[in-house]
Amino acid sequence: MRAILHELTEVERQAPAVAGRLDQDRIAVAGHSLGGFTCSLLLGVRLQDDDVSDARIRAGILLASQGRGGADLTSENAARFLFFGVEFRGINAPTLVVCGADDDPTSRLGGPDWHADPFHGAPGADSL
């Protein structure tokens, strides 16, 4: 995703339909489920102390994105998805977190509110 951001000028050059229509100072990301997790990383969540955020991203939308890992997951999935062990405090950009009462995957313990973890943990998450 960051490689695409680095090449937006080239994207505009090769795609005349978007030429002059991309505002590189107002970039937002949006993703669902694992795509939402990717957006979380771009917004400032650190993965095993690696920072892959991009300051050009000014806002985000996380749709049924992952919550915290570790003890919040079933034991099988906690061992399988070690990369879910993140904190959301690195997200400072305005972020909309979207989840529903029926978003209830079997990979973790507890109810659908797990998808709201980014809202409760990210300083920039201002809407749920």
User: How confident is the model at residue 71, as a pLDDT?
Assistant: 73
Q: What's the residue count for the chain? A: 128
For residue range 91-125, what is the model confidence (pLDDT) as tens digits? 999 999 999 887 766 556 566 788 899 999 999 99
For residue range 38-87, what is the model confidence (pLDDT) as tens digits? 999 999 998 778 888 999 999 999 999 888 777 777 778 777 777 777 88
**60 sits in which H/E element:** strand 57-63
2's tokens: 């960051």
User: How confident is the model at residue 40, as a pLDDT?
Assistant: 95
Q: For residue 96, what are the β-bridge partners?
A: 61, 127
Cα–Cα distance for residue pair 37/2, rounded to 1 Å: 15
Q: What is the pTM of this model?
A: 0.84
Nearest CA-CA partner of 96 in 39, 51, 47, 25 = 39
